Structure formats: C-alpha cells, structure tokens
Amino acid sequence: MSLLADRYQLAERIGTGGMSNVFAASDVLLGRDVAVKMLKPDMARDDNFRERFRREAQNSAKLNHPNIVAVFDTGETDTDGLDVPYIVMERIHGRTLRDVMRTDGPLSPARAAELLVPVCSALQSSHEAGIIHRDIKPANIMITNTGAVKVMDFGIARALDDATSAMTQTSAVIGTAQYLSPEQARGRAADARSDVYALGCVLYEAVTGTVPFEGESPFAVAYQHVQEDAEAPSARIDDPTLDNTARVNIDAVTLTAMAKHPADRYQSAAEMGEDLERLARGQDARSAAMHLEDAQAESASEDVSTTAFAAAGSSAAASASPAAEKKPFPVAKVLALVLAGLVIVAAGLFGWQMLFGGGFGREDSSTASPAPNSEADELAVPDVSGLTRAEATRQLEELGFEVEVEEEPSSEVDEDRVIRTNPTAGSELRVGTTVTLIASSGERMTTVPDLSGLTPAQARTALDEAGLRLNPQVDEDSSDSVPEGSIIRQSPAPGEEASEGDEVSVTVSTGPELARVPDLTGATWAEAQNTLRSLGFEPTAEYLDSHEDEDRVLAVGGAGEEAPVGSEVIVQVSNGMLIDMPSITRLNPDDAQRALRDAGWEGSPSDFRISPDRPGTGALVDEGLVAGTDPEAGESLRKDAPVTVYIWEFRLEELAPSGVRDALRGG
C-alpha cells in the first residue's frame, strides 16, 4: 500500500475501466473510507486532457446532491515521471445498475422507473449547475446496499469530449456508443437533453435486457442513433402480465426521451423524472397522452412536417407493441398509415442530407440550405428566474418562443416570480418552441403525515398525497424495536405544518445494532460491568458456588458471538463460597472445629454436628477423636454448610480377632 498526497492510504483495486483504475483508500487525515480514481498513464499523457480533467473534476466537486457520488478532492501524482490525475470520492458499497441487470435480468417498468427517478433528480441538479454528464450508462449508476441510488463519474465524459487527441476521441465514442445522443454522434454540442437521451437508452435496456441499437462497431451503433428509430421497448418485453396501458406508457416515456431531435424530447431531467414517478406508481405518463393527441392531430392533416416526425414515430412505436396489436383501435390504424408516409419522407430527407448536406455526421452550410430542424433557427433560452411572470413572458415572446405558465408552491421564491423554466436556461430551442415558466404560487401549507413504520417507498407515496417530497438522502440508524428497512423517525415531525413541495427527511432502521460479546473470564465483576456497559450491553450477574475468589468472573454468556446492543448479557460470577474439606482425622472435636475455621469454614457451632453413630476402635488412644467426616477430606464444601463428624469409641471386642468379634456381635 502507498500513501497518496501524504493523506490517502491506497489499498486494493476495486474497479477498472478503459481509462482509469479505482482503489479503496482511507483518508488518514479525516479517518474515513474513500475511493480514489486514477487515470491510466496512457490516458494521462495528453496535456490538454489532463487540464480538462482537472477543471471538470473541480466542477464535479461543486455538486452537492444526495444522489451524486461526492467528490472530496482532486490532484495529480507523479508516476514514473508522468503527472497522473486522480479524484478522491466517497466510497459506495453496492452494485451498479449494470451488475443488477446482469444478475437479475430485465426489470419491471415500475422497478426501473423507481430506480431512475433519483437519477433524474441528480441530473437536474447538475444541469442547473451547468454540468452535463455526457456519459450516462448503467455502469455509472450505483445502487447502494441500503437501496439509495448514486450517479458516478460527473465531468469525466466532458473531459473526453473536449480532448483533442485522437486516442481520447476514439475512447469517447467506444465508451458511450450504446447511449450516445444523435447530436453527440454528429459532433455537435451536448446539452441537458443529451443526458435525457442517454437515460432513455438506459431505461430501454433496463426493461428489455437489450440496448436499443447494436452493431459491429461503435460507429455503426452511432449511425443508428442518428438515422434509425428504435423498436418499441414493449415489443421486446416478454411479460404476459403487462397490460396494454402499461405497454403504451413504457413506450411513451422511453421513446420521448430517445427522440432524435432534442426539441422533441423531455426538455429537462426533472420533466422526465415526473413521468418516471407516474410510471413507478402505475399511473399514465403525460408523454403517452401527448403522443396520442399529436397523432390524432396529424392524422387529420395532409401537411405533415418533419418536426412532427419524432413524436409521431414514437407514438406509432408505442401503439405497435404486441399488446396493442391484440386489441386494435382506430388511432393505431391511423398512426400506422402516418408512420408509413413519414418513413418515406424521412428517407427522402436522409438522401438529401447524404447527397447535398455533406454526408452522415457532417454539415456544409455552403452547399445545402437549412432544413426545418436546422440549428440556424435555434436560440438559447434566457435565464428569467426571479422575474415576474409578465416580465419573463414578454422577454421570451420577443425572442420568438411560445410561453406557457405553470404554478408551483415555493417557500423561497415570492409569489408570481419565476422559479425556473422548462427547458432550463441555456437550452438551444427552435424559434416557436414552447417554453414553460414555472412561477411561484407562494406557500401552501399541508400537514406532515406520520411515516413511522413505513418503508421509504411507502413514505414517498404518503408524502405525494400530502403534496410533500421525500428527501432522497435517507439516513440510517439501528433500532431494537423497528424492523430493518422501516422508518424510525422523521423531520418535520408528524402533525407539523409544512409548505407544499417541502422535503421530509427520514431515518430508516438497520435493525438492532450488534456488538461482539467479550470473554471476561478472570476479571472482577466490577471490571466486567464497566466493559460490557461501554459496549452497550446490560450485564446481569449469576452467582455460583466456586473456589475462585468472591466476585471473580467465571464465564460470560455468548462470549465471542455478536448480540444486539442493549441486550442482557449473563455473567457467571463466583461467590467465593467453596473450600476444600480439610482432613481433621484423629483430632478432638474442639481442635477439629478450629481446623475447619482455619480452612475458611464459616458455619455456626450447631453446624458442627457430632454423629451419634460412633465407630468402634481397639486403640485406646483414639477414644474421643475424629474417625471421619461428611463431606470427606478433599471434597468441596460450602463455607456455611454443616459438617458431620464421627467420633471413635474404644471397644474391647475390637481387640479380638475378626472372627471372634463377629461372633460376639452376633451373640
């Protein structure tokens, strides 16, 4: 093991990728476990890449969100004369979404949606901070052992995209081809909606077990992202319990996220997250209704624009699922006809681009006039947060955008002021596209429900009904009374008033806290009590007769095993009441009693019992002396137990031979 930057003690390697290795490490300064990602030397030789990597790592460190793996530190270390960048991150124990899918197979749409809602929350936070992930894929989504979802590797993909070396550019395509947005495949700038597209690909793979596009090379896959429509995911889901409505919903959410043109996708990660939440709860996604409305409008019009192609194609794919084919309805028939016509239009547009537009992935404005989706007609959405809705509406309309207004309660933004826009500020949109203003309606109060005993999933549902949100950062604590996975406490407390939209934080039980019971044999009872109580146990003494000194520990129940903290531990303690019975044979009764006292016997005089049964002796010198005892010499004796002594009695017949003695006794 080596010490990095005189602070991070590197341990075993816990992961590796195409461009980096990840090591378990310990921060010796703060005493916490961390993970250290170090670039491989062949990736670190590009000066421009190292600079971009450093800058992006610093940006990532600014992100503070419970669903984003925290970046604590960044720097460079000298490796064989080469400056190798590294990033220090929080250590996460769990599995990646890639591992989950490999082990468990395809997920149900509801489960997949539940896992990706926190990813949307993380992406929305990063987008608002001006950071685009650019490498969303199952391997960068971690599910911890407690069920929390964490997004990894923020900023790395941006550094890859912006690097100038051929090696780095190739790595960027190979590493992300299965989840590459069309605009990235064309070499255009990525924005927040590029991450939305990638997340749509992840959702597709999560529910079907297959990526939307496959090819013999990364470039063949990238080509399909640009030119081909993905098959509806429901067509690849072999689940007879999935009804037609559920199939339409998963198709709508997935294919909206994967629309070819950014303007046809969800315009923010938050918007996609809202539909995923509905999908997780078994409710209809808004995108499903929107696609059906768009399709019906298109079927009544003879003028089909290329702008409508992505939306119509998505809805048609949703309607073409096996479940939908079993029960055809008029809208589906119309959509099929529209789709057939649009395929011809799309083929013509593709041919025009290939012949006159400079070919795949390349544009030449000098030889081709802008298509309707050309970026020449796009403008950046201005930041109008904090303005009144009237001021914001006027500013957006002057730029040529359509404006819709939605209200949302807020305890931080004054009533009638703009909280945010959808799409977010800075997004490039076509003139005429609708921008939604989210304006504050002021504070609306609601009563916080009692979440005790619920699971986080149940709590989320209860809070949704109350107009509140669950803080995605779920704390954990042990509990003897609350089962593992259930909520112990919450903040704000049940019954308190809170603003609608506020977050409620919860602490979930990890079950009883366990500690190992130590072996304290030979210690004093006082020492054993102090040790056990310091570990959180409740010691109880069980006194036993023993030759050991009084208050000396004989044994500890469950020593060496783990037990719940707070539980009772039985300690067997010596009462010091056992002695070895001394030999007092041929002592007179008084001397015999003194010998017993000297050996530690504490019985009363009445406990020194002389048996009326006196054994005979032919030795006159033994008359009146102790012949034997009960207990016998050497046996264990309680200090307060009675002792019976047998006193010899001189008898003449004991002098006779044994045969004569027997005759005399018989006569």
Torsion of CA 111, 253, 504, 480, to 10 degrees: 0
pLDDT value at position 644?
96
Quick one: 216 and 266 in the same domain?
yes
Residue 464 inside a domain? The answer is yes
Q: How does residue 134 score in pLDDT terms, banded at 50, 70 and 90?
A: confident
Beta bridge pairs of residue 628:
646
Q: In 3-state terms, what secondary structure has residue 86?
A: strand
Between vectors from CA 498 to CA 494 and to CA 502, what angle results, nearest 5°? Answer: 105
Q: Using DSSP bridges, classify how beta strands 562-564 and 469-470 pair: parallel, antiparallel or unpaired.
A: unpaired
Quick one: 113 and 185 in the same domain?
yes
Render pLDDT for 448-474 as a digit per residue (tens, 0 to 9).
999 999 999 999 999 999 989 999 888
Render pLDDT for 576-616 as a digit per residue (tens, 0 to 9).
999 999 999 999 999 999 999 999 999 999 999 999 999 98
Catalytic residue among 46, 135, 191, 622: 135
Quick one: 140 and 110 in the same domain?
yes
pLDDT value at position 380?
87
pLDDT value at position 636?
95
pLDDT surpasses 90 at 667 = no
Q: Using DSSP bridges, classify how beta strands 568-574 and 538-544 pair: parallel, antiparallel or unpaired.
A: parallel
Smallest CA-to-CA distance from 501 within 375, 583, 413 is with 413
Q: Of 37-46, 201-210, 415-424, 566-575, which gets the smallest average pLDDT?
A: 37-46
Residue 540 inside a domain? The answer is yes
Quick one: 645 and 565 in the same domain?
no
pLDDT value at position 549?
93
Quick one: 86 and 124 in the same domain?
no
In 126-211, the DSSP E strands lie at 141-144, 149-151
Residues in the chain: 667
CA separation for the pair 405, 110 (Å, rounded): 30
pLDDT value at position 217?
82
Contact (Cβ atoms closer than 8 angstroms) between residue 647 and residue 625: yes
220 against 58, higher pLDDT: 220
pLDDT value at position 166?
33
Beta bridge pairs of residue 4:
8
Residue 354 inside a domain? The answer is no
CA separation for the pair 658, 667 (Å, rounded): 14
pLDDT value at position 354?
38
Contact (Cβ atoms closer than 8 angstroms) between residue 260 and residue 310: yes
Final residue belonging to a domain, choices 41, 69, 90: 90
pLDDT value at position 213?
95
Quick one: 206 and 267 in the same domain?
yes
Residue 590 inside a domain? The answer is yes
Residue 226 inside a domain? The answer is yes
Smallest CA-to-CA distance from 97 within 29, 161, 143, 166 is with 143
Residue 217 inside a domain? The answer is yes
CA separation for the pair 584, 593 (Å, rounded): 8
What is the total count of domains within the chain?
6
Quick one: 110 and 254 in the same domain?
yes
Beta bridge pairs of residue 73:
88
Quick one: 519 and 497 in the same domain?
no
Residue 80 structural domain: 3-90
Cα 604 → chain centroid: 70
pLDDT value at position 513?
84
Number of other residues whose CB lies within 10 A of the CB of residue 474: 18
pLDDT-above-90 percentage for the chain: 51
Quick one: 410 and 520 in the same domain?
no
Q: Which ranges of 518-608 does DSSP label H, i.e. alpha helix?
A: 525-534, 589-598
Quick one: 546 and 433 in the same domain?
no
pLDDT surpasses 60 at 292 = no
CA separation for the pair 574, 541 (Å, rounded): 10
CATH number at 68 reads 3.30.200.20
- Return the amino acid letter for 92: I
Render pLDDT for 315-339 as a digit per residue (tens, 0 to 9).
333 333 333 333 333 333 333 433 4
Quick one: 273 and 163 in the same domain?
yes
pLDDT value at position 653?
79
Q: Of 178-187, 208-217, 303-312, 375-384, which gets the smallest average pLDDT?
A: 303-312
Interval 647-652 mean pLDDT: 90
pLDDT value at position 300?
46
CA separation for the pair 404, 662 (Å, rounded): 127
Cα dihedral across residues 366, 370, 219, 154: positive or negative: positive
pLDDT surpasses 70 at 661 = no
pLDDT surpasses 80 at 192 = yes
Q: How does residue 369 score in pLDDT terms, banded at 50, 70 and 90?
A: very low
CA separation for the pair 555, 573 (Å, rounded): 7
Residue 358 inside a domain? The answer is no
Smallest CA-to-CA distance from 492 within 445, 442, 444, 450 is with 450
Q: Answer yes or no: 135 catalytic.
A: yes
Contact (Cβ atoms closer than 8 angstroms) between residue 66 and residue 473: yes
Interval 388-409 mean pLDDT: 90
Tokens of residue 82, six digits: 């080469």
pLDDT value at position 388?
93
In 321-474, the DSSP E strands lie at 378-380, 402-408, 418-422, 428-430, 434-440, 445-447, 469-470
Interval 542-558 mean pLDDT: 95
Q: How does residue 115 score in pLDDT terms, banded at 50, 70 and 90?
A: very high
CA separation for the pair 186, 180 (Å, rounded): 10
Quick one: 99 and 242 in the same domain?
yes
pLDDT surpasses 70 at 665 = no
Interval 394-423 mean pLDDT: 88
3-state secondary structure 262-319: HHHCCCCHHHHHHHHHHHHCCCCCHHHHHHHHHHHHHHCCCCCCHHHHHHHHHHHHHH
pLDDT value at position 235?
95
115 against 654, higher pLDDT: 115
Q: How does residue 289 score in pLDDT terms, banded at 50, 70 and 90?
A: low
CA separation for the pair 238, 283 (Å, rounded): 21
CATH number at 477 reads 3.30.10.20
Residue 212 inside a domain? The answer is yes
Render pLDDT for 85-114 as a digit per residue (tens, 0 to 9).
999 999 988 999 999 999 899 999 999 999
CATH number at 237 reads 1.10.510.10
Render pLDDT for 516-528 as a digit per residue (tens, 0 to 9).
999 999 999 999 9
Final residue belonging to a domain, choices 239, 269, 287: 287
pLDDT surpasses 90 at 299 = no
CA separation for the pair 552, 525 (Å, rounded): 6
CA separation for the pair 62, 665 (Å, rounded): 110
40 annotated among ligand-binding-site residues = no
pLDDT value at position 285?
87
Mean of the per-residue pLDDT values of the chain: 82
pLDDT-above-70 percentage for the chain: 80
pLDDT value at position 196?
97
